[in-house]
C-alpha cells in the first residue's frame, strides 16, 4: 500500500514538472509571436534580409573550405604538403599512420565520417614512415597519433586510443567529443557529458598540452603502439 502511494506521489510530481516546462515553452513562443506581430513591414523585411545575408555568408564560407580540401579525409604525400595545408586552414586534424598498424585503419573509418560532417575542419593523413623530419619535430612515437593544429600551431594530440576509452571499439561520437574538447571542430554536444558507455570504467585522462608551434617544439609520449 505504501509503495502504491509513493508511486502515485512520484507520478504527480513528474506530471507537475512536465506541465511547468510546457508552460514555460508556451510563454516563450507567445512572446516571440507577439514580437513578430508588433513588427511593421519594414522591420520584417529588414529581419528577412539579415537572415538571407547570414545564409549567404555561411554558404560562401563553406565553398571556401571545400576549395581548400575540406569535406573529405585525404592523404597528403609529403611533409612539405603538411606545412602548406596547415597554413591554408584554421583547423586541421592530421593522422600520422603506418600501413602495418591495424588501429590506424580503425581511426581511418571514424575520420572519414567526421570529415564529411565537420566541413569547418580539414582532415588529413600522413604516413609516419615517409615523414621522419616531421615526426622527429613533433616527437611522434605512438601510432596512431592525431595532431590537432589551429592557426598553424599544434594545440593538442590524440595519442593512441587512451583518450577514446582505451578500446578498439570506441564510437565515432567518442572521437568527435574528444576533438570538440580541443576546440578543433564545432561540437554541438555537451563536453561535460562524454559519450562513453561507462565514464568510470574508461576514465577521461587526456594528453592535453600547451599550445606549441609546429617547428622545433617537442612533447613526450609513450613507446610505439602496434
Please tell me the predicted confidence (pLDDT) of residue 97.
98
On the question of pLDDT at 138 being above 90, the answer is yes
Q: Give the model's pLDDT for residue 25.
A: 79
Which of the pair, 71 or 222, is modelled with greater confidence? 71
Q: What are phi and psi of 40, to 5 degrees?
A: -90, 180
DSSP-based helix, strand, coil % in the chain, nearest 5: 50, 15, 35
User: Dmax over Cα atoms in the chain, in whole Å?
Assistant: 76
CA distance 99 to 184: 26
Give the pLDDT score at 52: 82
For position 214, what pLDDT does the model report?
40
d(CA 82, CA 92): 10
Whether the predicted pLDDT of 99 surpasses 90: yes
Q: How confident is the model at residue 181 (pLDDT cuts 50, 70, 90)?
A: very high
Q: How far apart are CA 112 and CA 105, in angstroms?
A: 11
| Measured distance CA(207)–CA(222) in Å, rounded | 11
pLDDT at 42: 72
DSSP state of 117: H
171: CB partners within 8 A, 6+ apart: 195
Predicted pLDDT of residue 216: 36
The mean per-residue pLDDT over the stretch 175-181 comes to 96
Q: What is residue 204's three-state secondary structure?
A: coil
Buried b or exposed e, range 2-24, using 16+ CB within 10 angstroms: eeeeeeeeeeeeeeeeeeeeeee
Amino acid at each position: 500500500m505504501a509503495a502504491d502511494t509513493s508511486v502515485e506521489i512520484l507520478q504527480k510530481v513528474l506530471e507537475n514538472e512536465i506541465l511547468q516546462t510546457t508552460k514555460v515553452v508556451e510563454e516563450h513562443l507567445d512572446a516571440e509571436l507577439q514580437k513578430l506581430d508588433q513588427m511593421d513591414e519594414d522591420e520584417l523585411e529588414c529581419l528577412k534580409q539579415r537572415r538571407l545575408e547570414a545564409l549567404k555568408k555561411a554558404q560562401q564560407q563553406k565553398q571556401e573550405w571545400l576549395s581548400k580540401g575540406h569535406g573529405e579525409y585525404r592523404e597528403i604525400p609529403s611533409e612539405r604538403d603538411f606545412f602548406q595545408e596547415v597554413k591554408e586552414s584554421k583547423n586541421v586534424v592530421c593522422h600520422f599512420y603506418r600501413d602495418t598498424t591495424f588501429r590506424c585503419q580503425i581511426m581511418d573509418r571514424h575520420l572519414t565520417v567526421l570529415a564529411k560532417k565537420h566541413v569547418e575542419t580539414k582532415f588529413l593523413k600522413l604516413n609516419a614512415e615517409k615523414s621522419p623530419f616531421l615526426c622527429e619535430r613533433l616527437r611522434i612515437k605512438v601510432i596512431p597519433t592525431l595532431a590537432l593544429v589551429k592557426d598553424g600551431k599544434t594545440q593538442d594530440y590524440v595519442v593512441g586510443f587512451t583518450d577514446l576509452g582505451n578500446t578498439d571499439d570506441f564510437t565515432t561520437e567518442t572521437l568527435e567529443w574528444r576533438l570538440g574538447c580541443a576546440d578543433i571542430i564545432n561540437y554541438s554536444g555537451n563536453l561535460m557529458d562524454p559519450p562513453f558507455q561507462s565514464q568510470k570504467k574508461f576514465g577521461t585522462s587526456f594528453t592535453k598540452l600547451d599550445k606549441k608551434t609546429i617547428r622545433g617544439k617537442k612533447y613526450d609520449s609513450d613507446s610505439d603502439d602496434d
